[in-house]
Amino acid sequence: MIGVGKMKQYTNVLDKPLSKGKQEVSLSAFAFLFSELVQYNQTQVDNIAELERRLEDAGYAVGARVLELLCHRDKGNRRETRLLGILSFVHSTVWKVLFGKVADSLEKGTEHEDEYMISEKELLVNRFISVPKDMGTFNCGAFVAGIVRGVLDSAGFPAVVTAHFVPMEGQQRPRTTILIKFTEEVLRREARLG
C-alpha cells in the first residue's frame, strides 16, 4: 500500500524493523551495476594499482556495514574477538549472506604466520569480467578484498587484504584467492589471549 501519509517520512531509518535479508534481485541487475562501478572508477585513475585501490575502498564501505548488519541480525549483537572466530565468520556467515554460499576454502599461509587465504573457484564479481591483456594483473576481486578488509577492520582486526588470480590446472579460468595479512598488533593480542 502506498500513500500512508506524510507521517512516515520522519521515521528515522534506525526505527524501522531490520529486514530479514531474504530479498533478492537478479544477478544481472548486480552485474550491470558492478560493471558501471568499475567503468566509472576507470575514468578516475591513471594506473591499475589506483583502480584496484578505489574498488577496494568501495568494498570497504560495504564490509563495514555488513559487519554491523550481521552482528545485529544473526549474532545477537555480539561480534567475534578471536582471530579464528572472525575468519570463519567471514568465510561462512558473510559469504553465505552476500554470495549465497560458503567460500570454497579458508587456509592458513604456510610461509608466514600472519597470512590467511580465502579462495573461490568463481568469484561472483569476476564472473562476467575478462581482463584485457594490457591491464595485466588487474582483478575485480579487489572489491571483495575491500569487503573482507571492511569487516575485519571494523571488528578490530586490521589487515592488508589483496585479491589474486591463481591458475588452476585443467581449468580454463583461474580461481581467485583473497590474501589476508594481519597487522602485528592483532597477532600479539591473539598470542596474549592464548
Partner 1 sequence: MAPLVPRSGDAIFANVERVNAELFTLTYGAMVRQLLTDLEEVEEVNKQLDQMGYNIGIRLIDEFLAKSNVSRCVDFKESADVIAKVGFKMFLGITATVTNWDADGTSCSLILEDNPLVDFVELPDTCQGLYYCNVLSGVIRGALEMVSMKTEVTWVRDMLRGDDAYELRVKLLKQVPEEYPYKDDE
Query: Is residue 141 involved in binding partner 1 (CB under 8 A)?
Result: no
Query: Is residue 155 involved in binding partner 1 (CB under 8 A)?
Result: no
- Residues touching partner 1: how many (CB under 8 A)? 43
Query: Is residue 61 involved in binding partner 1 (CB under 8 A)?
Result: yes
For the bound state, the minimum distance from the C-beta of residue 177 to partner 1, rounded and expressed in Å, comes to 20
Site pattern 35..54 for partner 1 (x: CB under 8 A): -xx-xxx--x---------x
Secondary structure class of 178 (helix, strand, coil): strand
From 18-26, 77-85, 107-115, 183-191, span contacting partner 1 (CB under 8 A) = 18-26
Query: Is residue 69 involved in binding partner 1 (CB under 8 A)?
Result: yes
From 15-23, 106-114, 131-139, 160-168, span contacting partner 1 (CB under 8 A) = 15-23
Long-range contacts, stretch 181-186, CB < 8 angstroms, 24+ apart: 181/112, 181/114, 181/115, 182/83, 182/114, 182/115, 182/116, 182/152, 182/157, 182/158, 183/114, 183/158, 183/159, 184/114, 185/158, 186/83, 186/114, 186/157, 186/158, 186/159
Choice between 41 and 126, CB closer to partner 1: 41
What is the spatial distance between Cα 36 and Cα 41, in angstroms, rounded to a whole number? 8
- Sites of contact with partner 1 (CB under 8 A): 2-6, 8-10, 12-13, 19, 21, 23-30, 32-34, 36-37, 39-41, 44, 54, 57-59, 61-62, 65-66, 69, 97-100, 124
